[in-house]
A and B are shown apart, each in its own frame.
Chain A
Amino acid sequence: MGIFGKKEAVTEGGKGLMLLREVPDAMRAEKVLRKAGFSARLVAPPLQFREGCDLAVETDIVEQVAIKRVLAQGSIPIVRMLPLGTDSIEPVSIVSVVDYGNAAMVRAGNMKMAFDKRTGDILNISGGGCPDVPYLYAQFVGRNLEEVSPPRDIGYTLCALMLDRAFEECLRLYREKSNAVDCGDSAC
């Protein structure tokens, strides 16, 4: 056991795949499980279970009783738990950055977010094709990176998950730049 009675995040007893009803359920499950100290990773369900916009959670199958209890406490229903024989596919994790001078655009998978490097204001969101993308656009564009909830807390789909990755990178870049400006030449 780790400190404060939490389990340490290790995967020893064989991987299992948890299928959930909706993408937001999978995103919440990953968050809840990690917070409780379990290993959890968002991955693609096996091909035969995919319907188009799906997400599953890879975890340690021997811990499934405890995992189910934690998720039940969070009112997150599991559809099925499967043993995992082969390496699973993770959603795309590569991000790239385009510099526009005072603005920067971060690409993550099929999603892009542009922000003002001086103020942290979100300037634009482009790419994607799931129905929550225009909704996220309306919720985020014109607001500040520091004041909005992450896209994964508002969105429903894999596009929202990709946008979340772009958002995290935008926030990291903005904070890095802000800290550099705050510190000036001194080491801090």
Chain B
Amino acid sequence: MLLIAGTVPVENLSLTVGKAVSESDNLKVAGTNIPCTQGTAAMVSSATATLQYLGLKEAPTVALIGDIGSGTGSKTLYKYLADNIHKLKPQVLALHYLMPIIPLMEKAVTACKECSPSPHLIADAGSMYAAKAAGLSKDFEIMTPDAGEMSFLADPNATHPAYIQHHFLNAESHKVPDLIRQAFERGDAPHTLIVKGSTDFVATSGEVVDTISEPDVPAMEAIGGTGDTITGMVSAFLYAGLEPPHACILAARANRTAGLYAKVTPASRVIEVIRKLPDVFKKHLCEWSGVCIIPQKGKDCLERRDL
């Protein structure tokens, strides 16, 4: 199971757990419609599109709850994960928009580590802030910061990206590899990182293994949710069996290409990018990765080719 957990901006939405289904521009989970906008909904939508394309019949399972910033929904969700992760037994658990609350993140991660086998953990957004602030980054398989959040991971004293010391700020692209190294050496970065920006950096064990800067679509940075789509694809690719850096590289390429296909502007919505993902996968995934969909009698078949 791929389990994605996070908050959505739907006031009073109680904890909702179920399979995610994409319907038009909405997500449907356990009969509840969730608008596909920036945040966890965009992440789930891109993960769903990816798994669908790969022909994996199992849609992501999601645990969503309403929280507009008070943290009440986040607290319930942390507790749900800590109490139930051993029953859910996901292979991959991706944590997303949550109020960063260090003690509750510690409990949730401890519960995950007590599972056998323990899930592969991915963190982005508030979950990543909480994991780093709690000193738990090494318990995660992948984190997906943007360049500014990379400064946060590299700053040993920062407990939130709002408190980065000045000398860690202004992370121009050429400084990102140094920040990655520093964060990893201090134990504040997981084994695999994708740092999203005008150039995307993919790193393992503190060293950059690939950079992706084409196609260059500058408007993507302005569009809310275009980082969330990367995290959704990374989660789906990892769940499908790709190695973490490979999952990150493919997600970065696919996201940029979807933005190009959608001809995005700073006024575009993330759903326009998500709608293009199936086209991008169809045209490029086999060529980029060796993950190919082979048409067979009556059904498509997923095949891994070594290129």
Query: A residues touching B (Cβ–Cβ < 8 Å)?
Result: 22, 44, 47, 50-54, 89, 91-92, 94, 98, 100, 103, 105, 107, 109-110, 112, 114, 116, 123-135, 137-138, 141, 155-162
Q: Which B residues are closer than 8 A to A by beta carbons?
A: 7-9, 35, 37-41, 67-71, 73-74, 97-103, 105, 124-130, 133-134, 146, 148-149, 152, 157, 159-166, 169-170, 218-219, 221-227, 265-268
Docked complex Cα distance between A137 and B267 (Å): 13
- Evaluate contact between B126 and A131: CB separation under 8 angstroms: yes
Which 9 pairs from chain A and chain B are nearest by CB? Answer: A132-B69, A129-B125, A52-B100, A156-B69, A134-B39, A135-B9, A110-B161, A131-B67, A129-B126
Asked whether A92 lies within 8 Å of B99 as measured between CB atoms, the reply is no
User: Known: A100-B219, A124-B222, A124-B224. Is A134-B170 also a contact (CB below 8 A)?
Assistant: no
Q: Most chain-A Cβ atoms within 10 A of its Cβ — which of B152, B161, B224?
A: B224
Q: When chains A and B are docked, how far (Å) is the Cα of A132 from the Cα of B94?
A: 19
Residues A133 and B39 in contact, CB atoms below 8 Å apart: yes
Contact A51 B101 (CB under 8 A): yes
Our pick among A47, A110, A126 for the contact of B149 (Cβ within 8 Å) is A110
Q: Is the CB of A137 within 8 A of B224?
A: yes
Report the Cα distance A46→B161, complex, angstroms.
16
Q: Which residue of A lies closest to B226 (CB)?
A: A126
**CB distance A162 to B162 under 8 Å?**
yes
Cα A91 to Cα B163 with chains together (Å): 5
Check if B222 sits within 8 Å of A53, measured CB to CB. no
A135: chain B residues within 8 A (beta carbon): 9, 68-69
Task: Please give, as numbers and ranges, the residues of chain A lying within 8 Å of B7 by CB-CB distance.
Answer: 131, 134
Complex: how many Å from CA A51 to CA B95?
A: 18
